[in-house]
Amino acid sequence: MAERYVMSIDQGTTSTRCILFDHGGRLVSVTQREHKQHFPRPGWVEHDATEIWRNLEQIGPKALAQAGIGSGEVAAVGIANQRETTVLWDRHTGIPVTRAVVWQDTRTDMLVEELSRRPDAYIVEELCGLHVATYFSAPTIRWLLDHTPGLRERAERGDVLFGTMESWLIWKLTGGPDGGVHVTDVTNASRTLLMNINTLSWDDTLLDFFGVPRAMLPEIRPSAQTYGAATRVMPGVRIAAALGDQQAALFGQTCFAVGEAKCTYGTGSFLLLNTGHEPIRSTHGLLTTVGYQIGDEPAVYALEGSIAITGALVQWFRDGLGLIGTAPEIETMARTVDDNGGCYIVPAFSGLFAPHWRSEARGIIVGLTSYITKGHLARAVLEATGWQTREVVDAMNADSGLNLRTLNVDGGMTANNLLMQFIADVLNVPVVRPMVAETVSLGAAYAAGLAVGYWPDLEGLRRNWHRAAQWLPAMDPALRAREYDSWQRAVERTFDWIKPHEE
C-alpha cells in the first residue's frame, strides 16, 4: 500500500497554511498564503472569510502537488484556527453577511462595559470560565445583530449562521449550501462566552444574557472526531479534527499530562497549562478554557495566559513604521545595539490581555531620549514579548502553586534567537523549542490522525517529540529585577487612556 499522510490546515490571523505530515510527524510539504488585514477604523480589525476560503482552495491542492500525491493518499485532515474571530454567513448563498470580525477588534468595548455592569453579569464567568471582554465572540455576534438591519430575524430563522473559522471552513469543505456540516469543536466553543464549561453545551442563560439566537449556532463536537468528508478542495478526505490554534499547539507539543505547558509565539502569544479533567479557576488573570477532547473521552481543560500583541508588534514595526522589510530583520536591527537604551514599548493595541485585562489601555513608547536609535526601538519591540511572557508565567506560577521549570515554545517568532535568549533570561528558566516549529499544524494533524486510527495513541505521539534547540538563562539577577521594574512602570502608564465618552 502506498504511504499515507495527514493534512493540517492552520487558518491563522495573518495567513493560512496547509501542511502534510508523514507517519513520523515529519513535515513533507507546506504551502501558505496571507490574507488581507482590514483596519476600517481605529480599533477595528476585519478579515474577508471568502478570501480565506479561496486561499484554502489554492494552497490545499498545491500542498498535495508539492508532495506528489493525490487526495487518496491523505488519511485525514485536521483544522486549527485563529480563535474567537466571528463569521456570519447566509446558509442559502454561502456568502458572509459582513466581514469577519477578528479577535483583536475592540468595537464592542461600550457594549462590553454595559453588559459587565448588569447585576447578573457575575453568572457569565461562573458558567463559562471567561469574563465579558471584546476578545470573545458573543459580544461581537450581538453587536453585528444590533447593527445590521434585519439580521436578527434572519438569525432567529436559522437563515444566517455563526461560526469561528473552523466552522466556516468545515461547512464550505463539506458542500456549503449543498449539505454543508455546521459544527464547531469544544475548544473553539469554549471561547465564545456561550458554552457551559462543565456540560460543554450551549447554555440558555448565556444565550439570553448576550441575546444570541440558538438557531444560528453550530453543533458542538469533540476536537478529534470525523465530522464529514470533504466534497471540495480535497474530495473524499475525512475532516477528522478541529481545535483552536493555541489548543492545537498544546496538543502538538504533546502536553498531555497535568502540569505540562507551552507558549506559542505568533501574532499574539499564548501560554497554556494542562490542568486535566477539572476546569480550574484563576485568581491571577488567566482564562479557564478547554484544551482538547478526543472522541468520547472526557475533555481536558487548560489555564491560559493570553497576550494579544507580540509578533503583531513586529509586523507594525515593518508595515506601520516601515523600519524593516521583513519580520526577521528585526533581529538584525536589534543586534546593532547592546541594550534597549532605556526605552520600553508596551503594545496595548487592543488594550491589555492577561494578566491585566485592561480594555481602556493603549500602547506607549516610554523612555525616549535623543540617544534612542531604531536599533533600541527594535530591541524594545522584542523585549516587550519577553516581559509580557514573564507576566503570564508569574500569574501561572501563582495560580498553580508550582514553579515553571522550563518553557516549551513554538511559533514563527521562535526563529528569533535574540528573542528566545531574552525570554530565557527574563524567566530565568531554559527555553526549549521542539523539532517541529509549526506545532499548531502538527497538533491539528495529530488529533485528526488519532481520530481515524492513523496513529494509535498519545504515547506514540509523545515519542515523536524531540528537542530542536535550547536557550539557557544568563542574565544578571540584579539587572533582571531592575529591568522588570522598569517594564512594570511602563505598563502602568498605559492604563486609563481611553475614556468612555471619547468613543
Partner 1 sequence: MPGPVQSIERAAAILRLLAQGSGRLGLSEIANSLGLARGTAHGILRTLQMVGFVEQDEATGKYQLGAALLHLGTSYLDVNELRSRAINWADALAARSGEAVRIGTHLQGKLLVVHHVFRPDDTLQTLDVGVLLPMHATAMGKVLLAYDANAAAAVPDGDLEPFSRRTIRTAKELTRALSGIREVGWAADVEETTVGEASVAAPIRGYGGLVVGAMGISGPIERLCDPHNRPRPDLVTFVRDAARAVSRDLGAPRW
Ligand X SMILES: Nc1ncnc2c1ncn2[C@@H]1O[C@H](COP(=O)(O)OP(=O)(O)OP(=O)(O)O)[C@@H](O)[C@H]1O
Is 68 a residue that touches partner 1 (CB under 8 A)? no
- Measured distance CA(356)–CA(60) in Å, rounded: 39
Stretch that binds partner 1, among 6-14, 161-169, 462-470, 492-500 (CB under 8 A): 462-470
Is 311 a residue that touches Mg ion (CB under 5 A)? no
Q: Which three cell numbers stand for residue 343?
A: 526605552
CA distances (Å), 260 to each of 255, 272, 284, 364, in order?
A: 5, 8, 19, 34
- Measured distance CA(23)–CA(117) in Å, rounded: 52
Cα 186 from chain centroid (whole Å): 15
Burial class (CB in 10 A: 0-12, 13-18, 19+), 177: middle
Q: Tell me the closest approach of the beta carbon of residue 434 to partner 1, in angstroms.
A: 9
Q: Tell me the closest approach of the beta carbon of residue 31 to ligand X, in angstroms.
A: 14
Is 27 a residue that touches partner 1 (CB under 8 A)? yes
Is 466 a residue that touches partner 1 (CB under 8 A)? yes
Residue 436 contact among Mg ion, ligand X, partner 1, none, beta carbon within 5 to 8 Å by kind: partner 1
Which spans of this chain sit near ligand X (rule: CB under 6 A)?
Answer: 12-15, 82, 245, 266-267, 311-312, 314-315, 327-328, 330-331, 411-413, 415-416
Q: Tell me the closest approach of the beta carbon of residue 297 to ligand X, in angstroms.
A: 27
Interface residue with partner 1 among 415, 458, 475, 498 (CB under 8 A) is 415
Tell me the Cα Rg of the chain. 22
Q: Which three cell numbers stand for residue 121?
A: 453579569
Interface residue with Mg ion among 176, 218, 266, 367 (CB under 5 A) is 266
Interface residue with partner 1 among 438, 447, 450, 483 (CB under 8 A) is 438
Torsions phi, psi for 292 (to 5 deg): -175, 160
Stretch that binds partner 1, among 25-33, 293-301, 338-346, 490-498 (CB under 8 A): 25-33
Interface residue with partner 1 among 135, 301, 317, 471 (CB under 8 A) is 471
Stretch that binds partner 1, among 24-32, 114-122, 135-143, 266-274 (CB under 8 A): 24-32
Interface residue with partner 1 among 7, 18, 28, 79 (CB under 8 A) is 28
- Measured distance CA(240)–CA(238) in Å, rounded: 6
Is 416 a residue that touches partner 1 (CB under 8 A)? yes
Q: How many helices (H) and strands (E) does the chain have?
A: 16, 21
Number of Cβ within a 10 Å radius of residue 481:
11
Cα 430 from chain centroid (whole Å): 24
118: nearest Cα among 214, 213, 210, 212: 210
What does the angle CA 97 – CA 100 – CA 106 come to, to the nearest 5 degrees? 125
x-or-dash pattern for partner 1, window 104-133, by CB under 8 A? ------------------------------
Residue 343 contact among partner 1, ligand X, Mg ion, none, beta carbon within 5 to 8 Å by kind: none
Number of Cβ within a 10 Å radius of residue 441:
29
- Measured distance CA(1)–CA(13) in Å, rounded: 38
What does the angle CA 290 – CA 291 – CA 297 come to, to the nearest 5 degrees? 90
Nearer to partner 1, 405 or 501 (CB): 405
Q: Which three cell numbers stand for residue 220?
A: 458542538
x-or-dash pattern for Mg ion, window 405-444, by CB under 5 A? -----------------------------------x----
Look up residue 351 and give its DSSP letter. B
Is 12 a residue that touches Mg ion (CB under 5 A)? yes
Q: For residues 30-49, which are near partner 1 according to CB under 8 A?
A: 30
Contacts with partner 1, residue ranges (CB under 8 A): 24-28, 30, 325-332, 412, 414-417, 435-438, 466-471
**Binding positions for Mg ion, rule: CB under 5 A:** 12, 245, 266, 440
